[in-house]
């Protein structure tokens, strides 16, 4: 222990020396920055253009250096509390003695001597992938074989070494148990010290292609995605930066929940976006929130609506939509002879240019026939404008006008009318598009992208898509059109709450995406008792549960739901930091809120603009999907409220939000699904 405490002190001293060096350097750069600003201001009116540009360049350079040093200092200040979490002793082949490698959140070095290695460094792979014995890692110079002679984990808090454990097992031990038993946090935490072998394989996947991850509830899918982004940004920093990574979030709530992870890993400026944001910016109309669709489905129980949603969520629907666009709509293009005079150009000496309908038809129906309409029209416009002999600036000026003229040969150019035509052909109900139904948003966007192209270019080099079960094949086709880059797509088909998804769909989706399919069947979130309960609820088999013991879930019959909720909360007072009452619909939330008002403090969370950082929240399963709570209470679990297959999925999602305690309440007769558990 003394030897380890001494090493910890050494590392803390190294951190402090680094901080002193960087703080001194930052002050020096700040001084230079101030001087440059002052000199530029004093001589502003007398500076030549080249001199002014020089000052501006130097000021920007010093600003960037200050920013870099500040981030480095902030990261190392945080490292003081916990500089590392593990150590491996590795003896390379043909070496007599092993080397000690300490592993932490960041690389800690001084005077070219490494004291702690970054968890993303090649050597650190040994810690996640192997127990004691033969092992290897892939260095920049090739494969390095050897033997792990020691594998050790540390519990360090506030710069103090509490204890360490020598482990011959994969990281499924006391420290992981301790981490899992902690109270839920309103923010997701980085998991570098407890990454499991199967999770590590995804994070460090070197084949830079699309990965599709199907993971049971609590398998760490979202954490894996964020840590993969951190790993790629560290190991491919010459290829792209954090601003080249996009996280496509289900909601703003989700964005708030995960917002701290990448900054803790030393990465920021990652772009976060919701699908609804993209849709609103492109379609310029109000869009039904997903939560409202869930309420509509679960309140009205309209079978026709459910059947339409199931169809719109299928690959058959995508095929029918693409056939309609590629063949039916594309085929009604009817060009006429066209006369065009580029009078927007600087000179007005151009003669009018004549284009015959035969020439336009040949370009559209033959030369570019295999392309989406938007690309056909763009290429046609470029080729036809070439004969004007204009400069690039003049070409850019007339291109939109010329393109619009080519679009005039379609009998209809309104995406909402086009969608109505398609729905009518398929026998689907035509909605009022003044407020776009959530389930039709992707269809309208695909129509716009295919025919006209999107207004905005969403440039990025790597995309993270979470909650894949909430998206449809139309979404994924659209995502591939928008982002032609590798992706990691994660979700759980068992947590789909507006339709039923099968393993067949999963395999079909992986083929469609040309993705490597990885299945995670080990859950870490809930206690063993809660996990087994949730799995039995839907008949889920083959799941490996973390052996963390806890209370068995309770199913309580009551004559007064409000009184029972108050009793449960009072009985568990001060035991948990975050408790959630998880309802089926927003209407149920509002009804219960009125009954609980003035009796207990709580926060209603059913929208997309709040965080869950409250001791007691009242929410829906749909809203809280992906979030975890210490204690979950599910009211109104009677046979009338939870009776359909979709109700069963909703109940499953609600139960899997609980980390440590789960209480279910019903009046009258309990749901048939609860009779099985």
pLDDT digits (tens, 9 = 90+) for 52-103: 677 788 888 999 899 889 989 998 998 999 999 999 999 999 898 999 999 9
* Parallel/antiparallel/unpaired status of strands 487-491 and 271-274: unpaired
**pLDDT at position 493:** 93
**pLDDT at position 134:** 94
7 contacts 82 by C-beta, under 8 angstroms = no
Per-residue confidence band for 271, with pLDDT thresholds at 50, 70 and 90: confident
Distance of CA 584 to the CA centre of its chain: 25
The angle at the Cα of 418, spanning 291 to 359, to the nearest 5 degrees, equals: 140
Return all residues near 336 (Cβ < 8 A) that are at least 6 apart: 357, 409
Token readout for 75 is 């990261």
Nearest one of 173, 1, 11 to 102, comparing CA atoms: 11
Residue 672 has pLDDT above 50, yes or no: yes
Residue 498 has pLDDT above 90, yes or no: no
* DSSP assignments along 578-615, one per residue: -EEEEESSHHHHHHHHHHHTTTS--EEE-SSS----SS
Q: Rounded distance, CA 300 to CA 305, Å?
A: 9
Q: Rounded distance, CA 99 to CA 88, Å?
A: 8
**pLDDT at position 47:** 60
**pLDDT at position 240:** 81
Report the pLDDT averaged over residues 578-602.
94
Token readout for 144 is 């390095």
Per-residue confidence band for 106, with pLDDT thresholds at 50, 70 and 90: very high
Distance of CA 16 to the CA centre of its chain: 35
Token readout for 210 is 């699309």
Q: Rounded distance, CA 654 to CA 634, Å?
A: 7
**What is the length of the chain?**
677
Helix H or strand E segment including 153: strand 142-157
**pLDDT at position 89:** 96
Higher pLDDT, 436 or 608: 436
Nearest one of 378, 343, 337 to 355, comparing CA atoms: 337
Per-residue confidence band for 343, with pLDDT thresholds at 50, 70 and 90: low
How buried is 105 (Cβ within 10 angstroms: 0-12 exposed, 13-18 middle, 19+ buried)?
Answer: buried
Among 318-322, 339-343, 579-583, the range scoring the smallest mean pLDDT is 339-343
Kindly report, residue by residue over 202-238, the tens digit of the pLDDT: 988 877 789 999 999 988 888 888 888 888 888 888 8
Distance of CA 537 to the CA centre of its chain: 28
* DSSP assignments along 54-121, one per residue: HHHHHHHHHHHHHHHHHHHHHHHHHHTT-S-SEEEEEEETT-SSPEEEEEESS-EEETTEEEEEETTS
How buried is 407 (Cβ within 10 angstroms: 0-12 exposed, 13-18 middle, 19+ buried)?
Answer: middle
Instruction: Look up the pTM and report it.
Output: 0.86
Token readout for 357 is 């309908």
The angle at the Cα of 545, spanning 542 to 549, to the nearest 5 degrees, equals: 145
| Average pLDDT taken over every residue of the chain | 88
Nearest one of 364, 374, 451, 372 to 415, comparing CA atoms: 451
Higher pLDDT, 291 or 412: 412
The angle at the Cα of 384, spanning 382 to 385, to the nearest 5 degrees, equals: 65
Per-residue confidence band for 388, with pLDDT thresholds at 50, 70 and 90: confident
* DSSP assignments along 612-643, one per residue: --SSEEEEEHHHHTT--EEEEEE---BTTTS-
582 contacts 614 by C-beta, under 8 angstroms = no
Kindly report, residue by residue over 481-497, the tens digit of the pLDDT: 999 999 999 999 999 88
Q: Rounded distance, CA 353 to CA 385, Å?
A: 9
Per-residue confidence band for 49, with pLDDT thresholds at 50, 70 and 90: low
Nearest one of 676, 629, 433, 667 to 534, comparing CA atoms: 676
| Torsion sign (Cα): 122, 124, 130, 133 | positive
495 contacts 538 by C-beta, under 8 angstroms = no
The angle at the Cα of 527, spanning 526 to 528, to the nearest 5 degrees, equals: 115
Q: Rounded distance, CA 581 to CA 596, Å?
A: 11
3-state SS record for 526-583: CCHHHHHHHHHHHCCCCCEECCCCCCCCEEEECCCHHHHHHHHHHHCCCCCCCEEEEE
273 contacts 439 by C-beta, under 8 angstroms = no
Kindly report, residue by residue over 293-306, the tens digit of the pLDDT: 888 888 777 788 88
Q: What percent of the chain is predicted at pLDDT more than 90?
A: 58
């Amino acid at each position: 222990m003394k030897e380890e405490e001494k090493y910890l002190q050494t590392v803390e001293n190294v951190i402090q020396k680094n901080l002193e060096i960087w703080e001194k350097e930052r002050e020096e750069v700040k001084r230079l920055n101030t001087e440059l600003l002052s000199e530029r201001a004093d001589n502003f009116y007398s500076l030549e253009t080249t001199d002014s540009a020089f000052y501006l360049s130097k000021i920007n350079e010093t600003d960037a250096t200050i920013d870099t040093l500040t981030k480095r200092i902030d990261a190392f200040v945080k490292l003081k509390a916990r500089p590392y979490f593990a150590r491996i002793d590795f003896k390379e082949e043909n070496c007599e003695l092993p080397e000690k490698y300490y592993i932490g959140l960041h690389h800690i070095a001084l005077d070219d001597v490494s004291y702690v290695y970054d968890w993303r460094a090649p050597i650190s792979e040994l810690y996640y992938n192997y127990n004691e014995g033969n092992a290897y890692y892939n260095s920049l110079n090739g494969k390095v074989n050897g033997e792990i002679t020691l594998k050790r984990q540390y519990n360090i808090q506030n710069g103090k070494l509490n204890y360490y454990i020598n482990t011959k097992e994969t990281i499924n031990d006391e420290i992981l148990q301790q981490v899992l038993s902690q109270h839920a946090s309103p923010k997701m935490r980085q998991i570098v010290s407890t990454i499991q072998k199967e999770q590590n394989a995804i994070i460090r996947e070197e084949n830079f292609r699309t990965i599709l991850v199907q993971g049971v509830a609590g398998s760490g899918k979202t954490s894996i995605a964020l840590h993969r982004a951190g790993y790629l940004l560290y190991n491919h920093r010459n290829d792209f930066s954090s601003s080249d990574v996009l996280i496509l979030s289900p909601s703003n709530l989700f964005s708030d929940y995960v917002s701290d992870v990448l900054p803790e890993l030393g990465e920021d400026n990652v772009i976060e976006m919701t699908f609804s944001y993209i849709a609103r910016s492109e379609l310029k109309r109000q869009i039904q929130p997903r939560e409202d669709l869930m309420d509509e489905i679960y309140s009205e129980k309209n079978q026709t609506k459910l059947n339409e949603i199931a169809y719109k969520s299928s690959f058959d629907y995508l095929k029918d939509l693409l056939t309609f666009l590629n063949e039916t709509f594309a085929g009604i293009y009817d060009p006429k002879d066209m006369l065009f005079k580029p009078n927007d150009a600087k000179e007005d000496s151009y003669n009018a240019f004549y284009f015959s309908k035969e020439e336009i038809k040949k370009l559209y129906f033959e030369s570019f026939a295999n392309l989406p309409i938007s690309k056909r029209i763009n290429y046609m416009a470029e080729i036809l404008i070439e004969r004007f002999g204009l400069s690039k600036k003049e070409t850019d000026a007339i291109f939109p006008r010329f393109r619009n003229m080519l679009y005039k040969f379609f009998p209809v150019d309104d995406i909402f009318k086009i969608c109505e035509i398609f729905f009518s052909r398929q026998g689907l109900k035509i909605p009022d598009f003044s407020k776009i139904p959530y389930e039709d948003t992707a269809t309208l966007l695909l129509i716009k992208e295919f025919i006209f192209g999107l207004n905005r270019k969403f440039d990025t080099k790597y995309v993270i898509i979470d909650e894949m079960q909430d998206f449809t094949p139309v979404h994924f086709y659209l995502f591939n059109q928008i982002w032609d880059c590798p992706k990691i797509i994660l979700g759980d088909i068992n947590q789909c709450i507006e339709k039923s998804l099968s393993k067949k769909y999963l395999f079909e989706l992986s083929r469609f995406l040309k993705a490597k399919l990885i299945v995670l069947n080990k859950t870490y979130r809930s206690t063993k008792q809660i996990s087994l309960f949730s799995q039995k609820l839907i008949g889920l088999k083959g799941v490996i549960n973390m052996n963390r013991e806890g209370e068995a879930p309770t199913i309580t019959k009551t004559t007064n739901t409000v009184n029972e909720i108050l009793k449960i909360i009072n009985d568990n007072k001060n035991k948990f930091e975050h408790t959630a009452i998880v309802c089926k619909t927003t209407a149920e939330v509002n009804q219960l809120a009125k009954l609980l008002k003035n009796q207990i403090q709580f926060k209603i969370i059913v929208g997309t603009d709040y965080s869950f950082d409250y001791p007691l929240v009242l929410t829906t399963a749909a809203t809280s999907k992906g979030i975890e709570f210490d204690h979950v209470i599910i009211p109104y679990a009677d046979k009338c409220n939870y009776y359909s297959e979709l109700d069963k999925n909703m109940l499953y999602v609600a139960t899997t939000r609980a980390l440590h305690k789960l209480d279910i309440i019903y009046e009258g007769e309990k749901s048939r699904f609860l009779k099985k558990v």
